[in-house]
Structure 1
Amino acid sequence: MPHEQHQELLEALHECMEACNHCYDACLKEEDVKMMVDCIRLDRECADICAYLEQAIARNSQFIPQLAAVCAEICEACGNECKKHDHEHCQRCAEACFHCAEVCRKIA
């Protein structure tokens, strides 16, 4: 299967998507949700691009390198935003985002 060569990336994408979805949900429950708006928005963007790139890999898209470059950029932005917040879910999300960005750059 063509996507076997991207196994490390598939795992990083899935972990990042799950971390972003968890962070998104947890941020919505924070006391000061308005302070979390940028984090929430980037969590959604990041989870969506990770899920899309997972699908593109599964169908052996010719655009995997380009999508990986965009994904790395979004993951980096999300990680930088999450890193600003002390919440444990944000810190875990930032770690997953930075790892995913690093793996995406290997493919891009």
Structure 2
Amino acid sequence: MAHQEHQNLINKLSSCLAACEHCADACLSEDNIDAMVECIRIDRDCAEVCALAIKFVSRDSDYASAILDRCADLCSACAEECGKHDHDHCQECAKACRECADACRNY
């Protein structure tokens, strides 16, 4: 079964999704929310594409690799944006995104 065969990738996608959701929510509580707008937007986009990728990989879709290519691109962009901020939640998100991007590229 594809979902068992690719469990490590699914785990990375799931971890990234959770980190992005947490980061976006935590950014909303920061003092200078205006500085966090782009971070929040890309966190939300990254979480959505990770959720989509989990579905495509789990069902062994013929289009999984195309989704994972876009997911890797978005995870890398999210890691770059979150990496600009010193908040722990942003740094943790950046790490999860980098790991997810690598896992997507190694599919």
Which TM bucket (shorter chain)? Answer: over 0.9
Partner of 1:43: 43
Amino acid at match of 2:40: I
Report the alpha carbon displacement of residue 3 of structure 1 after superposing the two structures with TM.
Answer: 1.8
What is the correspondence of 1:85-100 to structure 2 with a 5 Å cutoff? 85-100=85-100
What is the correspondence of 1:1-108 to structure 2 with a 5 Å cutoff? 1-107=1-107
User: 4+ residue runs of structure 1 moved beyond 2 angstroms?
Assistant: none
For 1:65 and 1:4, the matched residues in 2 are separated by 17
Report the alpha carbon displacement of residue 11 of structure 1 after superposing the two structures with TM.
Answer: 0.3
Q: Normalising to structure 1: TM-score of the pair?
A: 0.96
**Matched residue pairs, number?**
107
Q: Normalising to structure 2: TM-score of the pair?
A: 0.97
When the two chains are superposed, the root-mean-square deviation of aligned CA atoms in Å is 0.7
Deviations 1:45-75 (A, max 9, x none): 0000000100112222111111111000000
Report the alpha carbon displacement of residue 38 of structure 1 after superposing the two structures with TM.
Answer: 0.6
Q: Any gaps of 5 or more consecutive residues in structure 2?
A: none
Q: Any gaps of 5 or more consecutive residues in structure 1?
A: none
For 1:82 and 1:55, the matched residues in 2 are separated by 25
Identity %: 48
